[in-house]
Each structure stands twice: as C-alpha cells, then as structure tokens.
Structure 1
Amino acid sequence: MRKKYIITGPPGAGKTTLLKALESKGISCMEEASRKVIMREQNNNGTGTPWQDMNKFSCLVYQQTMKDLQSRKDSIFCDRSLLDNAAYLQYADLKNEIFLEEFDYDRYYQRKVFFAPSWEEIYEQDEQRPEKFEELNGLDKVLIDTYRQKGYDLIFLPKKSVIERVEFVLQHVESEKTKSIVS
C-alpha cells in the first residue's frame, strides 16, 4: 500500500479543485470521504451530516475512509484524512472518537501534509457546504493544531491559480523523493 499525501484545510479552500487538476495529469487521487457521506445521507434523508449529528457523521466517514483506503491503494494524494474528523469534533466541542485516537495514521499517510488555507475569494456554498464563510472562523487553527499535535509537517499552499498550486505540490513531492534517495 502506498502512503498518501494529504491535502487538507477548511471547506472551500480549493482542495478538491487541486486534486482534480492532479488527476487530469494522470496522478491517482482519493476523493473526499466526507462529501460522499454527506451526499449519501442527504439522498437517504439521513442525519449523519456535520450539522445534524457530528458523531454519527464521524463514524460514517471512518467507515467510508477505510473502504477507500483499501480500494484506492495506488492513490498518491487524498482529499483530507481522518485527522480532519478529529479536528472537526474538537471545533464543535465534542469528545474525540476512540477509533480516531487509535487509528494508525503513519501506516496510510506521508508525514508531509499540504494545507490549503481559508480563501474567501474562492469560497462557495453548496448543498454539502451550507456554512457561510464567516461561520468557519477558527477552523484553520484547529486543523493546523490537530495535524501538528500528531507530528505532521504542514506545507502551506499558496493562494494562487490551480496550475501554480499543482506545480507547487509536485515540486515538493519530487523534492521529498530526492531527499529519500540521498538519505
């Protein structure tokens, strides 16, 4: 199984757009489990969404992520990780789920994480992202703190075009490959 590079950040910061651009270059990426869960819950009139039942949502995202990790073993990048769920629970002042605390993150994820910061100019609300931009104030910090507490090194994506972000990410990944060959 290939360890994945995580692309994380708050909603609407350009993560999915970046991953789609990477895929268009033939790079295998794992899509966001959270959005799949939200869409499924909405289609089935379920309550497992972040704004209805965050704990149920976390369990469903965990299950979906485990399926995706097994079926997408070749993926190089992934849209978020289970650490995002831990951060969201903390952001909502809810207790962390034991399965998030005990999960073997190092088995599945690279230590370098790409972080897309809040970017109001590109933020768009939709059915799976109903929050207004202002409602997400402080989420960046919680996500950053959660990743750093687990020992991940964050690489902050520039607020630039998708093409420039793709080049930025690929340069960093190539740099990591070179470092591991030299070491």
Structure 2
Amino acid sequence: MKTKKIVLTGGPGSGKTTLIKFLEKEGYKVMHEISRDVTLEAQRQGIAQLFLENPILFSEMLLEGRLKQFQEGCSINSPIVFYDRGMPDVTAYMDFVKVHYPINFSEICNKNRYDHVFVLPPWKDIYEQDNERYESFEQAEKLFHFLKEGYLKYGYTPHEVPVGSLEERAEFILSQF
C-alpha cells in the first residue's frame, strides 16, 4: 500500500495545528509541526527568536527535521499521513524575509514529494500571537500568499481549505482524494 503524504500549510494562526490534532483524534497518522520545538530549544540556549537572528541556521534545522518526518511517513503502514507543514514551507518563509538560501534547500524540496497540499487561509477570528508566534495578522496574510506561491513553484496544486468547523475542514480535505 502506498501511503498518501498530505501537507496542511498556511500562515500562522490559520488553524493548521488544531486541524492536525483533530485528524489525529479521528485516527489518522500525523506528523506534528516542529518549528516551535526548534524555537523553544534556541530560547533555552539564550536566543530569543532564532529565525529572526539566524534564519539560515533555523531553516536548516527545520528542513532537516521535516525531511526526517517525510522519511518516517514513507515507512508508516497507513493509507494517509498528514503533515503539519512541509519542506517547501521552509523556502517560502525564506522568500518572505528575502533571505537567499542554499540551492540544496530547493533540491530537497523537489526530490521529496508530497501527494497533496492543502493551504488554510488567514482567519482573523482565531488568530493569536504568543511566545513563538511573533507575526502580526497582516504578516500572516502575506505569508499565506508566499506559502501558496512556494508550493506552486515546486509544481504542486495547493487546495485552499474553506474556513469552517473542524469537521467541515476535515471533510473538505478527505473528499479531495
């Protein structure tokens, strides 16, 4: 059985992680977002916002972690694995902050392919800033467009998930394949 690798992406505060947790509770295999872990580890080492202070190092760590998740997902015996963000998110964020990244970032994204990409639009009613989410809602809206364009750049066709209840969003995604 070939496992379908499904990415959920979108700007900060769009409901991705809540939706991933809902899908997991419904019995689906998931790979959780790792950027908060990377950020918290850097903060323990005295770096307040690693992405802002050293975007290349932060992005290398994220890309390495997401590649590892991708490889783990390939070996899971399940019809579907959902990923809370994918490897192309890394280059999209770098494009957003206008930082040049090594060519191997794009090579990794091109070589390791997901089956479907779903992008969640900005949703002001649920958006919250916190210790790891430093972007404003306006920045989240811009990031949404960079993420969508970032996946298009790698030949994906991102499907936009309508705003709605967790059940409605999950149903929309599951009805696409």
Q: For residues 38-81 of structure 1, what are the alpha-carbon distances to aligned partners after superposition, in whole Å with 9 as ceiling and x for unaligned?
A: 12222232467222211111011022223323344326110111
Decide whether aligned partners of structure 1 residues 153 and 135 sit closer, same or farther in structure 2, where only a CA change above 3 A counts. closer
The match for 2:59 is 58
Q: 1:49 to 1:169 in 2, by over 3 A?
A: same
Q: Once the two structures are aligned, what percentage of the paired residues are identical?
A: 34
Q: Residues of 1 paired with 2:126 and 2:109: CA distance? A: 33
Instruction: Kindly provide the amino acid, as one letter, of the partner of residue 69 in structure 2.
Output: D
Aligned residue pair count: 172
Unaligned runs of 5+ in 2: none
User: RMSD over aligned Cα, in angstroms?
Assistant: 2.0
1:91 aligns with 2:108: no
Match of 1:102 among 98, 104, 107: 107
Structure 2 length as normaliser, TM-score?
0.87
Deviations 1:92-133 (A, max 9, x none): 0111332211115454411x2100011111111111102221
Other structure's SS at 2:37 match? helix
Q: Quote how far apart the aligned CAs of 1:146 are.
A: 1.3
Q: Which runs of 4+ in 1 moved over 6 A?
A: none
Task: Check if 1:147 corresponds to 2:146.
Answer: no
State the secondary structure of the residue aligned to 1:86: helix
TM-score (norm 1): 0.85
* 5+ long unaligned stretches in structure 1: 177-183
Q: CA deviation at 1:20?
A: 0.2
Equivalent in 69, 76, 82 of residue 87 of structure 2 = 82
* Secondary structure of 1:123's aligned partner: coil
Deviations 1:125-182 (A, max 9, x none): 111102221233422221111111211011111110111111111112xxx2xxxxxx
Q: Distance in 2 between matches of 1:151 and 1:42?
A: 35
**Residues 88 and 109 in structure 2, CA contact (< 8 A), matched pair in contact too:** no
